[in-house]
Structure 1
């Protein structure tokens, strides 16, 4: 089912979705470098750029370590991705010569992941963010320092047909919708309509 925005946006924003069916074909360096370059230009507080990425490609020396971090249900489909990327963020930042806590490390890293996902889509590749994995095991197995947060894992691959996907996931393999803006944007306080059209409707 085609997504239809309520207000004008570039197609990129509604075309991006999170499939689980992947072809497992190799992803070229050029695609990864372009997607990571897009991530590099994300905004961040004090230009700290707290995001860090660890990557494993399907079948390489790191692949089984990355797949082994996933919750079993996620491993059923993500093991057919072309790459798995562990997203980290640095917890501290230098400001005026002092090392302090970076309270926006996760927020800023989210912006970088969004850039990555959209650039990958422009090149014909899909991504799916994964929260269901063992973070403690990721920190230990991948030697992640304590001053880094383990944020998420991203599966990247070419969109595959349903016959590449475990039957358990077939019913949900389509783009999801979004709640309307009047349920997410408010004027000064939660529950107060932000736009005249909403106030009139009320």
Structure 2
């Protein structure tokens, strides 16, 4: 690379923004990662703590881009509704899972529209998933514990044509990381650590 590119700069908006998205910074990001091995790596990490009953708090304190750590801090609360033994103090894990899917896809619609110069006035994604409680409650070993089907509807409107919006829709399904993660099997590796009770 002939110049040093700050990979975490894309959140800064300039005059080339469409839908609030900085196209120039995005193009600089693509340029930076294309020829430079190692710059393409993006890593996220979350840590979830039990806070009692079915409630948990997940802490996000950094991410890594191109081998560089970027500090940030957020907290996400999860709980089950009263009917499932919780206190209903936050969305439950299934709702957060679908929220993550929606948010990831929404970014895809916004960025793809912006890169085509299409201004949006409406963008909503409504997603539903249904569980059979006999599975995750252990009532029947023959019932799978998770959602077997996720249905979603995207409502989008703006200066684009129908063909452009259809092309954007296909691009989102092809490149959205969370859509990818939920639409086909991925490898999960877990490790159990037994912690001794404090004295």
Which structure ranks higher in relative contact order (CA pairs < 8 Å, sequence separation ≥ 6)?
1
Q: TM-score, normalised by structure 1?
A: 0.29
- Which has the higher Rg, Structure 1 or Structure 2? 2
TM-score, structure 2 as length reference: 0.29
Q: Which one has the bigger strand percentage?
A: 2
